[in-house]
Structure 1
Amino acid sequence: MKILLLIILYLISGPVDCTAVNGYSGGSVTIISDIQWNKHTSKYICKMNEKDCTDIIRADTKRSKVQDGRFKLYSNTENHFIVLIRKLKPQDAGTYRFGLGDQSISTVTLKVHNNTSSGVPKIMSTYLGQNITITCNYPVEYERNIKYVNKVDDDNNIERILDTDTKFQNGRFSISDDRSAKVLTVNISDMRETDEVFYLFGVWNGGGSVKYNSYFREMWLHVTEPSTNIHPTTTATPSAVCFSSSSFIIISVCVCGTLLLIGGFALIMIYKLRHKRTQDNVHSFRNKDNKQLTPDYNTDSDSVYENIGTSEV
């Protein structure tokens, strides 16, 4: 009976639209509705359950945005009501209702898919002045979708940088899409301190009164001063982890250097051992039975070799 009453209240309170929104674990979604943001009316978003709709955000504010943790409500330049949910978790799946006051209501059903290529937000370390290439796998269902790369500042404000439709190049940034391999590639040249932000990689889903961006990957670029005058190129391969090839070079050099030191030390020890044992054998030949003996080198050299060989084994 209570459920029926809720449905009736929803219907009489204003127009309701229900749209399915697909998100990915570790990623984000931005839901853009046709509702016009009104600074004089309360804004809210709640998650529906069997009995009621539990508030996540409900605020009376004249500001153009309101945020609580991973959830944010704000308006864009066209004054549309937008919902942002960051760092999606499986438990975020469900039906949400959002709008202004008791009118202008939208309802969306969020599905959170498991995505091994995104996971938790990744961190990629780079150097000032470095040129980097980032490659990311994307879900097969997005093969024909337009791909977007946006950046997010500390206030969760999103700025579009690139897309695979009309904005392939943007200053130091460029993008390409290998649809056969399902790989999105982004190049950034001459890294700067201002490039140290969160980057969102995703697609646009239009149609209906509720449109949304689904971001299948979030990544933080950490920009530091270079340790040397050399600026190696950082490459992130299409896997769950974005990594730096320069790290592998440093590790390889360290490993090779350590192996060379160990090898050199071992050769010195073997040489000293052979030299000592040769001297001991010669000394024993000269002092055996208190007589000065002349060793038979054809026989005793073989004995010395066998002794060394045995000791090495």
Structure 2
Amino acid sequence: MLTGAPWLLAHESMLTVNQPRKVFLYGADYVMWKDASGAVHALPNVCPHMGAMLSEGWCEVQSNGTSNVVCPFHALQFDSDGCTTLPGSGNKTLPQLQPLELIIQGNFIWSYGGCEPKIPIPEILNEFAAQYEFIGFTGDRSVKTDLLTMLLNMHDYNHQNGTHRTLFEIQEVQFKQFIDRGHHSHAYYDMPRTKSKLQDILKNPAILALPKIISAHLENFFPALVIFHGKSPIATIKQCHLFIPESETHTRTYVLMFGKAHSPIVHLLKQNILKLADLVINQDADILGKIYPDTPQKIKLNNEVGMDWVRRNFESFPDVVEPNLSK
């Protein structure tokens, strides 16, 4: 599961103040919560008394404005250090739970899952936050697939006119260029579309913002981030797909969206733009549930260079080895 890579567990907007949330990483689950000051905390999601899930409890606000997570079984409170106070004693215990180390960068909540860092956190999301409006998040779900299969799907540039054909009416994928910079890469390709049907437009008006030929620029930061750089006459969009290895058999994915409006109509389409990205995630999750993962690949299509890039980095992680796959 590529231990030592940084994983973006959440954007702060995904957390409700004083509401526990369960997150999984590397086969373990944690309870994460945000207090009224905006500070974010995470502990192992198991009460050390009798094993109840802390994420099923609630938060109790303290006199200093911070909050403790409360076990739903016996109402034991745990602070951000994993300490509790036993009923009747009034004395604070030593830490009973080891906090998950979080790295907070603005609104981005990263973690190495308690492992030694092997590659750095990409800076590009901080750049987006400074230069673009945050539109929102969407598509947050756990997919029953391993991390490698998920990444291969996201870097399979030939699947656009199959998996996403009905959504975007894509006719073909015209691959143009792949630039390999180790754990960082760029892919460029065009996708001509047929004219959208009226019923599809009525379901999601954001389709109107799509050009007749989608000129795709994907920027990839192995292993956790794929960015679709989109531009149309009405807006520039940065659609950021995130991946987190929850376990050996499940991978979490979600999308953060940033944008810059070139027309006032964009503000009316924000929810539709997020809905469109959610449909993409739905289609990817659906097709991953219809694949026999251990099938030997006897046919190789043109332009599978992105998948080759994933396999090479997966096998050599954290090192970067030749060949360079730029073409």
TM range (shorter): under 0.3
Structure number with the higher strand fraction is 1
Task: Determine which structure has more spread, i.e. the larger CA radius of gyration.
Answer: 1
